[in-house]
Structure 1
Amino acid sequence: MAMLLGGALLACASAVSSADDAAALQGAEQRTYLDGLKRLYLTDNERQALLAHSNALLETYALRAGYQVGQAQRQDLLYRFSTGNSGELILREESRGAQGTAIAVRNQRVAVFGIDPFIRYECPTDGIRCVLFNPADSSPLLSIVRDHDGAGELAKALSFLIRNVQKG
């Protein structure tokens, strides 16, 4: 019985050690990610690097009219993030008709204090877009062209950006 109990304690100690190692690795991965973005965008400011990266991804994976073959009202959907007041991001959405003549702009304020910074997204197999959801209320936040890797990278960058803005 003592050997069984001793073995269980040893297993618990190694599990706690593994959890600590995993947390340290996650912290190291986070630091590596943020340091890489700061080098890429030539800045020492994490928020500027995250904004630049998020906006570059939004431009790269923009849902353009050219991808919407067979749809009646094709349009470009272009997005851009900026910071607003303390604890808020501003999402600018610009939609343009296929001919480039009709342009509509909408600004949406996203309050980030008190929300889970995790960005959830879906890329339905039967569609042409991925939708990223607002973490505050799970409503659709923005749409990009259907690309799982691009949506994952954008969700990661936006999650880090929200955490950064939450710090104040």
Structure 2
Amino acid sequence: MRQGLTSRLSKLLLITLLLGSSLPLQAVESNTLDSAESASYLAGLKALYLTSDERKALLSHSNALLETHALKAAYQVGQANPQDLNYRLSVGAPGELRIREERRGASGNIAVRNRSLSVFGMDPYLQYQCPPQGIVCVFASPAGGEPWLTILRDPEGAEALAKALSFLFRNLQKG
């Protein structure tokens, strides 16, 4: 009886060791996959925007997405004060992202606001919300959580923009 119990315990220990050793291998494989996926994403953007500079490709893609998903007054039927809302990103000093926000009211008046965002020490993963009852998706500022960007409600577009901005932030954090 003791021999049967010892045999079962040793088999259980062996199975535990084998399962435990396979988990780190799976984690390493998935990290490699993520790295290959990132490289593929960046290579695709560089080919799309005909540049060898990763930062220029990310900036061009982010601006194209912001333009495509811009909130226009035409989408704001029934709103009290419909406005066109456009954004343009540029790079300033090392680690600095400049944001140009342009609001055009129904009367044609334009209000421009320029902001800078230092990306050093910031979490590059952006938070956004696209409430089903609204017409907009709102990105929270990585620095403080207040609303930072507002685009037309399109969850897939917001996801693509968040991905591009996340890659751009990581690129800018390199200096």
Give TM-score scaled by structure 2 length: 0.94
Deviates more, 1:21-30 or 1:7-16: 7-16
Which amino acid letter does the alignment assign opposite residue 169 of structure 2? I
Find the counterpart in structure 2 of residue 159 from structure 1: 166
Give the match's secondary structure for 1:5: helix
Does residue 70 of the first structure (1) align with residue 78 of the second (2)?
yes
Q: Percent of aligned pairs with the same residue? A: 57
Find the counterpart in structure 2 of residue 33 from structure 1: 41
The counterpart of 1:140, out of the listed 124, 134, 147, is 147
Deviates more, 1:13-22 or 1:33-42: 13-22
Which amino acid letter does the alignment assign opposite residue 164 of structure 2? A
Give TM-score scaled by structure 1 length: 0.98
What runs of 5+ residues in structure 1 fail to find an aligned partner? none
Q: How many angstroms apart in 2 are the aligned matches of 1:67 and 1:50?
A: 27
Which amino acid letter does the alignment assign opposite residue 107 of structure 1? N
Find the counterpart in structure 2 of residue 81 from structure 1: 89
The counterpart of 2:28, out of the listed 10, 20, 23, is 20
Q: How many angstroms apart in 2 are the aligned matches of 1:56 and 1:66?
A: 20
Find the counterpart in structure 2 of residue 124 from structure 1: 131
The counterpart of 1:59, out of the listed 51, 60, 67, is 67
Q: How many angstroms apart in 2 are the aligned matches of 1:10 and 1:35?
A: 38
Q: How many angstroms apart in 2 are the aligned matches of 1:98 and 1:128?
A: 18
Give the match's secondary structure for 1:126: coil
Q: CA deviation at 1:166?
A: 0.1
Q: How many angstroms apart in 1 are the aligned matches of 2:105 and 2:141?
A: 25
Q: CA deviation at 1:98?
A: 2.4
**Higher alpha-carbon Rg:** 2
Does residue 104 of the first structure (1) align with residue 89 of the second (2)?
no
Q: How many angstroms apart in 1 are the aligned matches of 2:118 and 2:89?
A: 13
CA deviation vs aligned residue, 1:14-66 (integer Å, no higher than 9, x gap): 11111001000000000000000000000000000000000000000000000
Which amino acid letter does the alignment assign opposite residue 102 of structure 1? N
Find the counterpart in structure 1 of residue 10 from structure 2: 2
Which amino acid letter does the alignment assign opposite residue 35 of structure 2? G
Q: CA deviation at 1:13?
A: 1.3
Which amino acid letter does the alignment assign opposite residue 100 of structure 2? R
CA deviation vs aligned residue, 1:49-96 (integer Å, no higher than 9, x gap): 000000000000000000000001000000011001111100100000
